[in-house]
Amino acid sequence: MTEQLGKIEKPPAERFKQGKKIYLIPLMYTSKSAPAEFNEKIVCYWQQVVEQLANLEAKIGKIKHVYHESIHQPGEDGMKFMEKINPDSYQISVDKCGDGAVLEAIEDKELLDEAVDWERCILLGFASEKAASKVSEFYVEALKKRYEFMVKRISETLKCNEAGLLFIAENHRLQFPADIEVFNIFPPAMDEIHRWLRDSAEKELEEQKKNKS
């Protein structure tokens, strides 16, 4: 069962104190090449994430395990890699691990590399529809195996009555088992980020039309 904070009425906290719990945070990234306005929204997003996490821990359960996509090594090595790919999720993870949580390796490196390689092939494009279709099949299958491994790792390491923190792409396709209660964290800034991206895409399309006319 999945709960979306801020978008539905919150049920009584006592209901979730038992069993396995995952606090799921969609990954968002600042970029040096992005407009300052966009990066400000990302900063606001992570500030709101910290606030909502504190609320969840106080009402439902303290975080005991940290999971982060792309991390295939536990402990210090995993933390160093996380710092490189997303300083914001890294800082939250450092705080939680400093408070007793453990960073778990959630990825199988071979499965991760395979999925990334097929995705790169797709992004390069194809002249042949047959080749594009075949590579797409390989990518979907690799992604399926990757996600299955991630769920297996969470199920193995997250014990009954424990809460885990998961950082993963917003468009993930993880299928959690029934014994894990998932809390999707969607701060108000998430809608603002989506709106900004839509508006930017529309403006860019309009500019392209003007240049062609």
DSSP string, 141-165: HHHHHHHHHHHHHHHHHPPTT-EEE
Identify the segments of the chain with pLDDT beneath 70.
Answer: 1-17, 213
Phi and psi at residue 151, in whole multiples of 5°? -65, -40
pLDDT of residue 126: 81
pLDDT of residue 29: 94
Q: Helix, strand, or coil here: 192?
A: helix
This model's pTM is above 0.75: yes
Dmax (CA) of the chain: 62
What's the start-to-end Cα distance of the chain, in Å? Answer: 51
pLDDT of residue 16: 57
The secondary element (H helix, E strand) that includes residue 52 is: helix 36-59
What whole-number distance in Å separates Cα of residue 155 and Cα of residue 53? Answer: 21
Q: What is the mean pLDDT of the chain?
A: 90
